[in-house]
């Protein structure tokens, strides 16, 4: 019998408590009991400073303080303010100016872009393709829309991006469904920290060029939530021009989020940006996505849209934001490198890592190991295929301690 009272289960498995939230509250309880110095809480998906406080870019705070009431109290147009629609393309692409037909539609965070892409470019019952290490909400979003997630193996035995598995899955799903939505979270993938190399990109796009010949449509959703924390801001955008060289029935959509990049997590701001080969495909993108937004969250919050517009209107403000973010990015990259070095030193295997908020450790019994570590004061997140450590939320010193603790717990 279902344990639902009035709500309908609709085929979903809904836990009584969010897993990460549960672990985080156990960490807080231990801090209250034993003191903060006894606990490392590496579960949180926001960038925290070494004292555990949320990093908020002061240049962004200054821009927020200068807003007039109508800048945040008023409705924004469904697809975003005109200024935001232009500014967010610059934020996403950097100095690169796509030659494709490029439309941006505002969304509540990157999450909204993922939701709208799945709802508009796949059909009920379809499978959405992503890697076997993936951000769990992809599954929730797909499930809420009557779709499901199918995975390819992300890494082969040698630890290289598994293009063979990717290619086989694309082929299989295109054959079965005629159309396909693929989610690639890069650079600085959550949960592994992996970024596709230029060579990986060339291989991926070759597969799409080949498989699209018999397909209705293939949509490549590039979830770029961590793009500004992945290393050099220009370097990690080097793949964008490659997305211009695709047939018209392959549509790249970039999911850009202001949550991490502008430290505006709570303002729920992001955008979906298409790189279409024809004007008609770009117009359709805008029309269907705005329609879908109307039927889910309606318009997105205006506050961060205005902030981003101001940042791109004011060169010195943009310079300040870029500079400040670069300093915090360096802090994050140092933590990741410290973790990697220590893991190597103590012989702890980790999933190939480049940059970003998280590092993953493959392991057989993630739930058992993470419970064991909680007793030692280390809180991390067990996933289906291993353990996820948020280097974004702990100090470099803690990053140096964690690998040995995990290694010991696994013995």
Ligand X SMILES: Cc1ncc(COP(=O)(O)O)c(C=O)c1O
Q: How far is the CB of 247 from ligand X (least distance, A)?
A: 27
Q: Which residues, including other chains, have CB under 8 Å from residue 320's CB and lie 6 or more apart?
A: 59
Closest residue to ligand X in the complex (CB): 109
Q: H/E/C letters for each residue in 241-276?
A: HHHHCCCCCEEEEEEEEHHHHCCCHHHCCEEEEECE
How many CB atoms neighbour CB 342 within 10 A? 17
Q: How far is the CB of 117 from ligand X (least distance, A)?
A: 12
Q: How far is the CB of 43 from ligand X (least distance, A)?
A: 12
Q: Determine, following the binding rule CB under 6 A, whether residue 185 of this chain makes contact with ligand X.
A: yes
Q: How far is the CB of 188 from ligand X (least distance, A)?
A: 9
For ligand X, what does the binding mask look like between residues 241 and 270, x meaning CB under 6 A? ----------------x-x-----x----x
* Helices (runs of H) and strands (runs of E) counted in the chain: 14, 12
Q: HSE (CB half, 13 Å, CA atoms) of 291?
A: 8
φ, ψ (nearest 5 deg) of residue 122: -135, 170
Judged by CB under 6 A, the chain residues 5 through 34 that form the site for ligand X are none
φ, ψ (nearest 5 deg) of residue 83: -60, -40
Of 60 and 281, which CB lies nearer to ligand X in the complex structure?
60
User: With CB under 6 A, what is the number of residues at the site for ligand X?
Assistant: 13
Q: How far is the CB of 392 from ligand X (least distance, A)?
A: 10
Q: How far is the CB of 135 from ligand X (least distance, A)?
A: 4
Yes or no: say if 76 and 299 are a contact pair by the CB < 8 Å rule.
yes
Of 185 and 370, which CB lies nearer to ligand X in the complex structure?
185
Of 72 and 265, which CB lies nearer to ligand X in the complex structure?
265
Q: What's the residue count for the chain?
A: 411
Comparing C-alpha atoms, which of 150, 149, 154, 142 is closest to residue 190?
154
Distance, in Å, from the CA atom of 329 to the CA atom of 353, rounded to the nearest integer, reads 15
Of 120 and 130, which CB lies nearer to ligand X in the complex structure?
130
Q: Determine, following the binding rule CB under 6 A, whether residue 193 of this chain makes contact with ligand X.
A: no
Q: How far is the CB of 245 from ligand X (least distance, A)?
A: 25
Sign of the torsion formed by the C-alpha atoms of 8, 12, 16 and 20: negative
Judged by CB under 6 A, the chain residues 57 through 76 that form the site for ligand X are none
Q: Determine, following the binding rule CB under 6 A, whether residue 131 of this chain makes contact with ligand X.
A: no
For ligand X, what does the binding mask look like between residues 93 and 122, x meaning CB under 6 A? ----------------xxx-----------
Q: For ligand X, which residue of 225, 301, 380, 406 counts as binding (CB under 6 A)?
A: 225
Of 212 and 259, which CB lies nearer to ligand X in the complex structure?
259
Q: Which residues, including other chains, have CB under 8 Å from residue 127's CB and lie 6 or more apart?
A: 147, 148, 149, 150, 173, 176, 177
Sign of the torsion formed by the C-alpha atoms of 147, 182, 20 and 406: positive
Of 113 and 276, which CB lies nearer to ligand X in the complex structure?
113
Of 112 and 174, which CB lies nearer to ligand X in the complex structure?
112
C-alpha distances in angstroms, 80 versus 67, 168, 290, 308? Answer: 17, 38, 9, 12
Q: For ligand X, which residue of 45, 80, 193, 336 counts as binding (CB under 6 A)?
A: 45
Distance, in Å, from the CA atom of 91 to the CA atom of 88, rounded to the nearest integer, reads 5
Comparing C-alpha atoms, which of 272, 262, 258 is closest to residue 318?
262
Of 262 and 339, which CB lies nearer to ligand X in the complex structure?
262
Of 166 and 229, which CB lies nearer to ligand X in the complex structure?
229
In the three-class reduction of DSSP (H, G, I as helix; E, B as strand; rest coil), residue 147 is classed as coil
Q: For ligand X, which residue of 116, 190, 195, 360 counts as binding (CB under 6 A)?
A: 190
Q: How far is the CB of 269 from ligand X (least distance, A)?
A: 8
Q: How far is the CB of 181 from ligand X (least distance, A)?
A: 15
Of 115 and 335, which CB lies nearer to ligand X in the complex structure?
115
Reported as type and span, the H/E element at residue 390 is strand 386-390
φ, ψ (nearest 5 deg) of residue 183: -110, 120
Q: How far is the CB of 407 from ligand X (least distance, A)?
A: 26
Binding site for ligand X (CB under 6 A): 45, 109-111, 135, 185, 190, 223, 225, 257, 259, 265, 270
């Amino acid at each position: 019998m279902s344990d639902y009272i009035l709500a309908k289960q609709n085929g979903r498995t809904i836990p009584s408590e969010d897993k990460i939230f549960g672990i985080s509250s156990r960490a807080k309880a231990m801090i209250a009991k034993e003191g903060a110095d006894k606990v490392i809480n590496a579960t949180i998906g926001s960038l925290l400073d070494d004292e555990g406080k949320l990093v908020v870019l002061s240049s962004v705070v200054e821009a927020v303080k200068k807003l007039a009431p109508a800048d945040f109290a008023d409705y924004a147009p469904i697809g975003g303010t005109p200024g935001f629609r232009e500014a967010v393309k610059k934020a996403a692409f950097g100095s690169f100016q796509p030659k494709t037909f490029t439309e941006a539609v505002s969304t509540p965070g990157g999450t909204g872009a993922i939701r709208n892409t799945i709802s508009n470019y796949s059909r009920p019952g379809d499978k959405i393709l992503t890697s076997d290490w993936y951000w769990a909400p992809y599954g929730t979003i797909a499930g809420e829309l009557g779709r499901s997630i199918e995975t390819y193996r992300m890494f082969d035995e040698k630890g290289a991006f598994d293009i063979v598995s990717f290619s086989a899955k694309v082929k299989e799903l295109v054959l079965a469904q005629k159309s396909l939505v693929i989610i690639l979270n890069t650079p600085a993938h959550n949960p592994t920290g992996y970024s596709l190399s230029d060579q990986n990109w060339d291989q991926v796009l070759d597969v799409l060029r080949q498989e699209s010949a018999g397909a209705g449509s293939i949509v490549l959703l590039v979830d770029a939530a961590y793009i500004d924390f992945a290393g050099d801001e220009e370097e990690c955008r080097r793949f964008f021009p490659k997305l211009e060289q695709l047939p018209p029935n392959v549509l790249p959509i970039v999911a850009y989020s202001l949550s991490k990049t502008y430290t505006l997590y709570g303002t729920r701001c992001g955008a979906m940006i298409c790189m279409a080969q024809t004007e008609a495909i770009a117009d359709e993108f805008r029309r269907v996505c705005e329609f879908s937004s109307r039927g889910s969250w309606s318009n997105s919050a205006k506050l961060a849209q205005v902030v981003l517009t101001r940042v791109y209107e004011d060169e010195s403000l943009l310079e300040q934001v870029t500079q400040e973010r670069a300093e915090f990015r360096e802090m994050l990259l140092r933590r990741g490198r410290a973790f990697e070095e220590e893991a190597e030193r103590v012989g702890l295997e980790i999933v190939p890592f480049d940059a970003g908020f998280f590092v993953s450790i493959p392991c057989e019994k993630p739930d058992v190991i993470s419970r064991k570590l909680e007793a030692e004061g280390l809180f991390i997140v067990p996933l289906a295929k291993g353990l996820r450590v948020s280097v974004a939320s702990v100090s470099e010193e803690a990053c140096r301690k964690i690998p040995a603790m995990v290694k010991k717990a696994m013995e």
